[in-house]
């Protein structure tokens, strides 16, 4: 998949634009019932026909007026007035119709947009976790997330507008050419340089946007240093204000300079294009005026032409302008299409089966490497876990502990070797496996949910009562601080920052633990650094309650705090992606290897 | 606000837009004249030359119109180009002087989070205002032409416009109300949308299968939003029906009498053409006016945000605790007036929201003393440190640095004196040199000093491995395609290096090793111990063992100092510190040493094992080894290295035992941590 920078670099092919347009309209079509589609289409058709109708009406009026002026025919006057009123009423009804259909149009576009949102969210939410470790890919996906809705809607709106404009232009041109062929030719001749010049402009704009991107990000980053709370301590103490301001200034200057040059060249080409049309229009009107002058055409023809070609000019400009954006937007839609088609989602097989009572997990010579790295993060690991084992995983940073946990839960897929869940390949029973495992990770989402719901989502497979939630919170030691929140369990976590409440890292960890506990049916628990943010007393409490918390579940615990290894049956020591030691505390201390060294490094303070 | 920024571009653009707005009127008039001439020309035997000239004039008017529009666009873009950065600059200048306390105010943070988007909005606001104004001007021009045809045309038009305006306004207000309901709904829906592509929730979402659940939530919000928007449209339409009707009435009023007048030869065909064109134009103009007005309204909200933010920034407490380097800058550092580096007299601090974080803190730290600050989460340690660093000013009490009250010191005096490693250090996406150098701007360009600091902070090694000692390498892939991605521990070590650059007399280390594994943590603590020797230092860590590096331990609980003494004294006291210590220490006590309080004796497990190989320990099938080929009797490392001998990082056997260390230190120094197996 492409990165954000690539997106600006590559030129989009016509075929891709076509595919993108098709996709955009597919969403639109599915958002409207057939009857609604017809209604909306007719609306656009009417709008397209308007300029032609208007020009014809114009001609009629002026011709009739000149007749009236010459002949003073009363009957003609009344006829003209009636026709006029009729035309105005027709305009009114179209106007009213358009207004009536406006809410419908808006709803249809919104529904289409919501559907795009659905597909985008679903893809992001189900793509494999490895993708989140590919920084450039993730950056691009996040960028698409923020832009695709606007671009998709924009594209459909624009294309509809362009189609309408093209239809009306063709109509007007036909009218003009039908009346005076040479004028038609002159107009067409005037279009050609216009189109060429607009294309030139479009290319310039693409290149400029690409160039700007990195600087724009840097400007935003620098600004963020001043606006965001997280930086303020260091910004103030280290006195970084002037330095960061300078960085902002440099990037801004660069952008301003480029934009200035761009502005000049764009304006120049724009003016040329417009002037070429002006020349065509002037010549055309000259021809018509001559015709009228020598009596070859009526005065009405002149006013009709005047209106028509001015209208034609404006529509043309509109089309060229919009086409630029269509090409631009098509890139986004194309990337979106590739994202949906090419990026694989997790397949949650066997999610309906009941969770087995006994779970055995086995790794068989598993290898895994992060995208873009040149070394296996898990380099041939084989190990078996039986139901009920309490296992601690220790090792240096980067030794593979967390990666191992991710392979165990199927969040990562083994690249060679297998992970087996009760003898079955993990990837072919992912649904069942995930149901059986309950986790506390180091990174977690802070959702805009009530505390209750935040804990409740720990087990979406059944109905969880409020009482159970409170019980889990009590066990996890979270009940106390929850009760102190403004709305207790109904407090919305996402909005806490807005009303001045901060939940500390330790409190979050307790909430996560409560959520993990709510999954009563889980047979395996994976805890990744569950005490990292806790103070000594809170940490100690967790350790002493460890067996109550974990019950008879198989527990995999990753920790830097080696004290925990006292309450587990088994310790796995990771080093450079392999398990290098495996035993209980006493055994490993006797072994006097890596574990012993780490343990002594920590323990020596507590003599 | 616009007029205070880049006046020239602004004025030019305004002039251009205004004058250009008059052109359509001229064009219409010209066409009218042409029509008359060609209509009468045939019969009056006129020369086509005059008509030709009129047409050429028309052509030039069009070109002029294009010139105006291009020039208008040009200056519009120029304005945007210069305006937006100026707005940013204003924001930066305002924010840079805001004291830290402001950032504890959730309302303030809410404003700053919207500030960036709002500043762009201000530019558009100005655009809309000018567009609106110029259109009013243009409309006036059309009115003028209309008045020349029939004097009552503009009056009728004005009346109709007034009615439309009133109707639009009332509809607009109702729309605004519904809009206010929509905004929070939209935000919530967006939250459950964006959450799918964020990195932190990704594991949760997959493990708990939240995707569909979020989708259901979004679907509910989406339906509600569609219904509300539908209502808005219906409300807006009410006004619009009237407008459409009025439009038609106006057109009828323009054309029908004109036809009659032409019939009665009281009006020429040219004038009729103009009338027709004017009525068309006016309708279009009124629609644009309404749109522009709405645009102005929308961005008004953002303008208010910025205004409020800037007001907050400029309000009371503008000066930080330490006054900024100003005109009265002292070229030489003031002489220390006291042997105490930090002196706090009955200092109290209340957080925004009246939660008292510190109460009656009285503390003096003499030069050369190493103090450990301990306490549970929420006890007030971070707040105390921030006060000592001059980031907060106490709400009551006094504080002095080397005998000088903080109010008398320059802003970067403290920076020159104190090296700080902040908890959860910032991850600067700039060069490695800058990331470390930011800790002491005076040394930012001193590469040797930076390298030295990296060494002391434990970062030199990974800088060599990952960046090949290129200190100009960029960090973070967000801003640079080839930027380096670092782990939490690596970022932390860079943060610690910031404390060491410049060799300052006072050090403050807040959780310098929280993200490091046991051995790296030990190395870091060792390095810290070395660095604090001979300096004044404040150490904070949840790893209570860290406190043993200190000469003195100060314990905070609920915002007060409850204990203050040496490790031994506080352990004997069996109070808060002892409880904290024991709660961690007991997990390291050897099971055979049960009954002895940890901290008194050396646990047995420390004695270097006899032969280092797994003996006959009952219970497990694998004797402490995990060699994949199942060879249980051999070395623990598949590579065949001597078991557990590779010592990470520095050479342990080299370190000297510091003077006066507490019992237990000597265990590690001068002794290898591993044993060669035989």
Output the pLDDT for position B605. 30
Distance CA B631, CA B616 (A): 16
Is residue B429 within 8 A of residue A221, CB to CB? The reply is yes
Predicted pLDDT of residue B46: 67
Q: Which residue does chain B place closest to A602, by CA atoms?
A: B518
pLDDT, averaged across chain B: 76
Chain B residues within an 8 Å CB radius of A535: 375-377, 542, 580
Choose among A328, A289, A319, A92: nearest CA to A205: A328
Q: Which residue of A has its CA nearest to B77?
A: A263
At residue B550, the 3 state secondary structure works out as coil
Contacts 24+ apart (CB under 8 A), A43-48: A43/A97, A43/A98, A43/A101, A43/A105, A44/A160, A44/A163, A44/A164, A45/A167, A46/A94, A46/A97, A46/A98, A47/A94, A47/A98, A47/A164, A47/A168, A48/A163, A48/A164, A48/A165, A48/A167, A48/A168, A48/A171
If you write DSSP's letter for every residue of B479-546 in order, what string do you get?
Answer: T-TTPBP--HHHHHHHHHHHHHTT--SEEEEESTTTTS-HHHHHHHHHHHHHHHTTSEEEEE-SSGGG
List residues bridging with B651 in a β-sheet. Answer: none
* Chain B neighbors of A563, CB-CB under 8 A: 584, 586-588
Number of neighbouring beta carbons within 10 Å of residue B238: 13
Band (pLDDT 50/70/90 cuts) for residue B621 is very low
Closest by CA position to B399, among listed B437, B350, B353, B349:
B349
Q: Which of A176-185, A329-338, A371-380, B72-81 has the lowest mean pLDDT?
A: B72-81
At B274 the pLDDT is 83
The verdict on a CB contact (< 8 Å) between B673 and A597 is: yes
Asked if B112 and B95 touch (Cβ cutoff 8 Å), the reply is yes
**Whole-prediction pTM:** 0.80
Q: From the list A217, A247, A598, which residue is nearest B518 (CB)?
A: A598
Q: What is the pLDDT of residues A103-112, one digit of tens each?
A: 888 899 999 9
Instruction: Check: CB of residue B98 under 8 Å from CB of residue B313.
Output: yes
A600 contacts B606? CB cut-off 8 A:
yes
Token pair in block for residue B533: 């020797």
Query: For A261-270, b where at least 16 C-beta lie within 10 A, e where not — what string?
Result: ebbeebbebb
Strands A578-583 and B396-401: unpaired
Which residue of B35, B208, B269 is in closest CB contact with A458?
A: B208
Query: Given CA atoms B657, B663, B668, B671 in this order, what sign does their dihedral have?
Result: positive
Q: Which pLDDT score, from 0 to 100, does residue A477 have?
A: 86
Nearest residue in chain B measured CA to CA from A257? B81
Q: Give the sign of the dihedral formed by CA A125, CA A127, CA A128, CA A130.
A: negative
How many C-beta atoms surround the C-beta of residue A152 within 10 A? Answer: 26
- Return the higher-pLDDT residue of B327 and A358: A358
Distance CA B583, CA A371 (A): 42
- pLDDT at residue number B594: 36
A596 touches chain B (CB under 8 A): yes
Does the distance separating the beta carbons of A122 and B516 come in below 8 Å? Answer: no
Which one of B28, B29, B273, B525 would you mutate to disrupt binding with A, by most A Cβ within 10 Å of its Cβ? Answer: B273
Expressed in angstroms, the distance from the first to the final Cα of chain B is 81
Confidence of residue A10 (pLDDT cuts 50, 70, 90): low
Q: Is A306 on the interface with B (CB under 8 A)?
A: yes
Q: Are A395 and A377 in contact (CB under 8 A)?
A: no
Tell whether A50 is within 8 A of chain B (Cβ). Answer: no
DSSP B361-396: EEEEEETT-EEEEE--TTSSHHHHHHHHTTSS--SE
Q: What are phi and psi of B556, to 5 degrees?
A: -105, 145
Residue B196 has pLDDT above 50, yes or no: yes
Give CA separation, A342 vs A2, A124, A144, A481, A593, in Å.
Answer: 12, 12, 15, 46, 46
Chain B contact present for A343, CB below 8 A:
no
Q: How far apart are CA B141 and CA B147, in angstroms?
A: 10
Residue B525, phi then psi, degrees to nearest 5 = -60, -40
Cβ separation of A118 and B215 shorter than 8 Å?
yes
Collect contacts of B649-652 with beta carbons under 8 A, ≥24 apart: B649/B458, B649/B461, B649/B519, B649/B520, B649/B523, B650/B523
> What is the pLDDT averaged over residues B256-278?
84
Instruction: Please report the ipTM that was assigned to this predicted complex.
Output: 0.89
In terms of Cα–Cα distance, which of A299, A486, A483 is closest to B268? A299
Q: What is the pLDDT of residue A512?
A: 93
Best residue in A226, A295, A317, A557 for a mutation probing chain B (most B CBs within 10 Å): A226
Question: Cβ separation of A294 and B42 shorter than 8 Å?
Answer: yes
- Which residues, in sequence order, are bridge partners of residue B547? none
Cβ distance A236 to B480 less than 8 Å, yes or no, reads: no
A599: chain B residues, CB-CB within 8 Å: 518, 588, 605
Task: Provide the pLDDT confidence category of residue B117 given band limits of 50, 70 and 90.
Answer: confident
pLDDT digits (tens, 9 = 90+) for B31-89: 888 888 877 766 666 677 888 888 899 899 889 888 887 887 787 777 778 778 888 89
> CA-CA distance, B616 to B633, in Å (whole number)?
11
Q: Please tell me if residue A71 touches chain B, with a CB cutoff of 8 Å.
A: no
Q: Can you give B599-656 as a three-state secondary structure string?
A: CCECCHHHCCCCCCCCCCCCCCCCCCCCCCCCCCCCCCCCCCCCCCCCCCCCCHHHCC
CA torsion B253-B258-B263-B266 (nearest 10°) is: 130
Compute the nearest-CA separation of A120 from chain B (Å). Answer: 9
Q: How many CB pairs under 8 A join A and B?
A: 547
Candidates B71, B599, B644; nearest CB to A593: B644
Chain B residues in contact with A564 by the CB 8 A cut-off are 587
* Whole-number percent of chain A with pLDDT over 70: 95
* Minimum distance, in Å, between the CA of residue B187 and any CA atom of chain A: 10
Residues listed for chain B: 678
Q: How close is the nearest chain A Cα to the Cα of B590, in Å?
A: 9
pLDDT bracket for residue B6 (50, 70, 90): low
- Report the percent of chain B where pLDDT is more than 90: 25
Does residue A313 carry a pLDDT above 90?
A: no
Which structure tokens are listed for B641? 């290295």
The answer to whether the CB atoms of B206 and A129 lie below 8 A apart is yes
Given a cut of 60, is residue B657 above it in pLDDT?
A: no
With beta carbons under 8 A apart, name residues in chain A contacting B514: 532
Q: Which band of pLDDT confidence, cut at 50, 70 and 90, is reported for residue B509?
A: very high
Q: How many whole angstroms separate alpha carbon B197 and alpha carbon B268? A: 68
Contact residues on chain A for B82, CB-CB shorter than 8 A: 256
| CA distances to B96, B309, B429 from A244, in Å | 10, 21, 11
pLDDT of residue B478 exceeding 70, the answer is yes
User: Would you say residue B329 has pLDDT above 60?
Assistant: no
Q: Find chain A residues with C-beta within 8 A of B522's C-beta.
A: 601-602, 604
Residue B476 backbone class (left: φ over 0; alpha: ψ -120 to 50; beta: rest) = left
A74: nearest CA in chain B?
Answer: B263
B233/A102 Cβ within 8 A: yes
């Amino acid at each position: 998949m492409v990165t954000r920078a690539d997106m600006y670099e590559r030129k989009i092919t016509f075929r891709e634009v076509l595919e993108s347009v098709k996709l955009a309209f597919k969403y639109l079509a599915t958002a409207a019932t057939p009857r609604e589609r017809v209604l909306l289409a007719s609306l656009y058709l009417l709008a397209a026909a308007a300029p032609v109708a208007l020009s014809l009406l114009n001609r009629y009026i002026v011709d009739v007026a000149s007749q009236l002026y010459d002949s003073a025919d009363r009957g003609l006057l009344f006829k003209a007035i009636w026709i006029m009123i009729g035309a105005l009423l027709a305009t009114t009804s179209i106007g009213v119709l358009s207004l009536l259909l406006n809410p419908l149009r808006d709803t249809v576009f919104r529904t289409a947009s919501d559907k795009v949102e659905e597909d985008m969210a679903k893809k992001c939410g189900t793509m494999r976790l490895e993708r989140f470790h590919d920084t450039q890919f993730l950056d691009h996906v996040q960028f698409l997330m923020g832009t695709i809705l606007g671009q998709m809607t924009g594209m459909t709106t624009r294309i509809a507008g362009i189609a309408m404009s093209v239809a009306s232009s063709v109509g007007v041109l036909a009218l003009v050419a039908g009346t005076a062929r040479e004028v038609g030719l002159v107009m067409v001749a005037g279009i050609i340089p216009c189109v060429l010049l607009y294309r030139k402009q479009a290319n310039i704009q693409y290149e400029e946007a690409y160039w700007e991107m990195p600087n724009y990000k840097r400007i935003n980053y620098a600004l963020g240093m001043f606006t965001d709370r997280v930086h303020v301590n260091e910004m103030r103490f280290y006195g970084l204000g002037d330095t960061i301001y300078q960085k902002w200034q440099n990037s801004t200057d660069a952008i301003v300079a480029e934009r200035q040059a761009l502005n000049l060249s764009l304006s120049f080409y724009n003016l040329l294009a417009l002037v070429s049309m002006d020349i065509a229009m002037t010549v055309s009107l000259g021809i018509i005026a001559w015709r009228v002058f020598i009596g070859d055409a009526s005065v009405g023809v002149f006013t009709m032409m005047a209106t028509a070609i001015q209208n034609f000019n404006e529509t043309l400009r509109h089309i060229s302008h919009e086409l630029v954006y269509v090409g631009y937007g098509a890139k986004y839609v194309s990337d979106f299409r590739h994202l949906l088609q090419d990026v694989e989602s997790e397949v949650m097989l066997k999610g309906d089966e009941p969770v087995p009572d006994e779970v055995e997990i086995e790794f068989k010579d598993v290898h895994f490497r992060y995208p873009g790295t040149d070394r296996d993060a898990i380099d041939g690991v084989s190990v078996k876990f039986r139901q009920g084992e309490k296992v601690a995983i220790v090792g240096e940073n980067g030794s593979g502990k967390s990666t191992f946990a991710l392979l165990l839960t199927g969040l990562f897929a083994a690249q060679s070797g297998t992970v087996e869940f009760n003898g079955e390949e993990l990837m072919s029973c992912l649904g069942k496996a995930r149901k059986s495992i309950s986790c506390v990770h180091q990174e977690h989402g802070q959702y805009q949910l009530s505390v209750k719901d935040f804990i409740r989502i720990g087990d979406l497979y059944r109905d969880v009562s409020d009482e159970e939630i409170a019980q889990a919170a009590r066990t996890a030691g979270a009940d106390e601080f929850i009760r102190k929140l403004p709305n207790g369990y109904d407090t919305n976590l996402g909005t806490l920052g807005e009303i001045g409440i901060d939940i500390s890292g330790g409190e979050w960890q307790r909430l996560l633990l409560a959520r993990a506990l709510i999954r009563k049916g889980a047979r395996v628990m994976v805890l990744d650094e569950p005490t990292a943010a806790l103070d000594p007393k809170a940490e100690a409490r967790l350790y002493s309650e460890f067996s109550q918390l974990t019950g008879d579940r198989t527990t995999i615990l990753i920790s830097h705090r080696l004290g925990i290894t006292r309450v587990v049956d088994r310790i796995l020591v990771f080093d450079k992606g392999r398990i290098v030691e495996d035993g209980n505390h006493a055994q490993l201390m006797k072994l006097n290897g890596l574990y012993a060294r780490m343990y002594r490094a920590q323990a020596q303070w507590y003599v | 606000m616009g007029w205070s920024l880049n006046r020239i571009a602004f004025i030019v653009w305004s002039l251009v837009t205004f004058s250009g707005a008059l052109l359509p009127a001229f064009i219409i008039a010209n066409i009218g004249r042409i029509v008359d001439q060609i209509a009468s020309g045939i019969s009056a035997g006129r020369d086509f030359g005059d008509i030709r000239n009129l047409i050429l004039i028309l052509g030039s008017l069009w070109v002029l119109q294009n010139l105006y529009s291009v020039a208008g666009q040009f200056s519009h873009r120029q304005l945007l180009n210069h305006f937006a950065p100026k707005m940013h600059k204003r924001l930066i200048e305002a924010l840079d002087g805001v004291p830290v306390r402001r950032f504890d105010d959730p309302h303030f943070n809410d404003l700053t989070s919207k500030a960036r988007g709002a500043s762009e909005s201000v530019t558009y606001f100005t655009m809309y205002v000018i567009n609106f104004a110029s259109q009013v001007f243009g409309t006036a021009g059309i009115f003028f032409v209309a008045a020349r045809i029939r004097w009552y045309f503009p009056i009728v038009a004005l009346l109709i416009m007034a009615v439309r305006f009133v109707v639009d306004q009332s509809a607009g207000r109702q729309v605004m109300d519904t809009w206010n309901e929509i905004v929070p709904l939209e935000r919530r829906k967006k939250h459950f949308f964006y959450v799918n592509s964020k990195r932190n929730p990704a594991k949760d979402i997959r493990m708990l299968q939240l995707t569909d659940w979020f989708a259901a939530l979004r679907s509910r919000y989406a339906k509600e939003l569609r219904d509300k928007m539908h209502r808005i449209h219906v409300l807006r339409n009410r006004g619009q029906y009237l407008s459409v009707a009025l439009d038609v009435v106006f057109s009828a009023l323009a054309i029908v009498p004109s036809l009659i007048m032409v019939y009665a030869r009281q009006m020429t065909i040219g004038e009729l053409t103009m009338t027709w064109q004017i009525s068309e134009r006016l309708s279009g103009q009124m629609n644009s006016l309404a749109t522009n007005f709405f645009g102005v309204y929308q961005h008004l909200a953002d303008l208010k945000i910025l205004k409020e933010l800037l007001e907050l920034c400029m309000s009371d407490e503008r000066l930080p605790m330490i006054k900024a380097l100003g005109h009265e800058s002292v070229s030489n550092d003031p002489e220390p007036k006291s042997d105490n580096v930090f002196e706090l007299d009955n200092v109290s601090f209340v957080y925004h929201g009246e939660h008292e974080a510190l109460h009656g803190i009285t503390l003096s730290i003499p030069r050369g003393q190493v103090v450990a600050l301990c306490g549970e989460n929420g006890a007030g340690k971070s707040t105390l440190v921030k006060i000592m660093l001059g980031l907060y000013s106490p709400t009551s009490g006094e504080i002095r640095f080397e005998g000088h009250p903080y109010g008398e010191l320059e802003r970067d005096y403290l920076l020159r004196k104190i090296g700080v490693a902040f908890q959860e250090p910032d991850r600067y996406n700039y060069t490695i040199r800058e990331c470390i150098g930011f800790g002491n701007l005076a040394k930012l360009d001193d590469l040797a000093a930076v390298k030295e600091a990296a060494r002391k902070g434990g970062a030199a090694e990974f800088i060599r491995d990952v960046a090949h000692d290129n200190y100009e390498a960029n960090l973070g892939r967000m801003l640079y395609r080839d930027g380096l991605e670092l782990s939490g521990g690596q970022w932390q070590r860079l943060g610690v290096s910031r404390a060491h650059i410049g060799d300052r007399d006072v050090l403050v280390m807040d959780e310098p090793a929280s993200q490091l594994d046991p051995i790296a943590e030990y190395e870091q603590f060792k390095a810290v111990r070395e660095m604090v020797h001979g300096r004044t230092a404040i150490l904070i860590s949840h790893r209570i063992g860290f406190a043993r590096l200190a000469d003195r331990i100060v314990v905070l609980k609920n915002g007060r100092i409850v204990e203050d003494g040496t490790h031994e004294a506080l352990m004997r006291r069996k109070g808060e510190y002892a409880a904290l210590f024991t709660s961690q220490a007991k997990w390291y006590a050897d099971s055979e040493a049960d009954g002895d309080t940890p901290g008194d004796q050396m646990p047995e497990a420390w004695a270097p094992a006899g032969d280092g190989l797994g003996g006959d320990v009952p219970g497990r099938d694998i004797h402490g080894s995990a060699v994949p080929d199942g060879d249980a009797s051999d070395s623990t490392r598949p590579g065949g290295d001597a078991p557990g001998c590779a010592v990470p990082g520095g050479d342990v056997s080299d370190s000297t035992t510091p003077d006066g260390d507490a019992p237990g230190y000597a265990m590690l120094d001068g002794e290898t941590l591993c044993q060669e197996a035989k």
